[in-house]
A = this chain, B = another copy of it.
């Protein structure tokens, strides 16, 4: 039984879609089919550092998810460490599983270690992310947030500089804050976990790889045991009648 997974970069640039797809092809299970899309129309937010940018791309994000279910995907991943609109995505998905970077990374980190630090780009991100650390039950295991003073779009500009900053922040998290596991708290921090992990010798979790693999795991749970998001209370789906009358979610053509 194949697993058809859609990674959504919830921004209006396709710049990294190909790179992400290639990375996922390397690490996917043999029966997984993976696609990577971003949102339209450009110009629009190419990062979501501000909650108001999240707000602006939400209809497009939801339409992408709604369309993905129709197109037969088994899972969709909302590719931003704020996990934007994960509840809404689960509401409109009757068959797909939905996950996102913070949920997946924190669940994994709390199995691998007991004191978690999250490396972010800017202090600005911390309060919203901290709400998620609470929500996902990891606040007692949070050692620290560490900011490297880079924007989302800076991480991939000067790889040596980015690596140096992340490594330094991770080392301080480990040595001063007592972290025994590190999460790179932005999907754009991809490409660095491995070299830092080898040097620091503690798990460094990549926020683009972790949710992709967690999605595969969740799809397998769905396929084998029919364990999927509960539709009883908080993830209940809206009535089709309202969706149709209000013309919601359906404007998108095929992905």
Q: Interface of A with B (CB < 8 Å)?
A: 12, 27, 29, 43-46, 49-56, 58-59, 61-62, 85, 87-89, 91-92, 99, 103, 107-108, 110-115, 123-124, 126-128, 131, 134-141, 174, 178, 180-181, 193-194, 197, 201-203, 205-206, 209, 213-214, 217-218, 220-221, 224-238, 242, 245-249
Q: Are B178 and A246 in contact (CB under 8 A)?
A: no
Contact of A43 among B54, B85, B246 (CB under 8 A): B246
Known: A56-B59, A110-B137, A220-B213. A124 touches B234 (CB 8 A): yes
Q: Are A174 and B232 in contact (CB under 8 A)?
A: yes
Q: Are B217 and A51 in contact (CB under 8 A)?
A: no
Contact of A51 among B91, B111, B203 (CB under 8 A): B91
Closest to A141 in B: B137
Contact of A111 among B107, B174, B202, B206 (CB under 8 A): B107
Q: CA separation between A236 and B131, bound complex, in Å?
A: 17
Closest to A122 in B: B236
Q: Are B203 and A111 in contact (CB under 8 A)?
A: no
A-B contact pairs, 23 of them (CB 8 A): A44-B246, A49-B238, A50-B88, A52-B88, A59-B59, A87-B128, A107-B110, A108-B221, A112-B227, A112-B229, A114-B233, A115-B127, A126-B233, A127-B233, A131-B131, A131-B135, A180-B232, A194-B226, A203-B230, A205-B227, A206-B225, A213-B217, A213-B220
Q: Are A50 and B91 in contact (CB under 8 A)?
A: yes
Q: A46-B246, A115-B127, A123-B233 are in contact. List 6 more A-B contacts (CB 8 A).
A: A56-B58, A56-B246, A111-B218, A113-B233, A194-B226, A202-B232
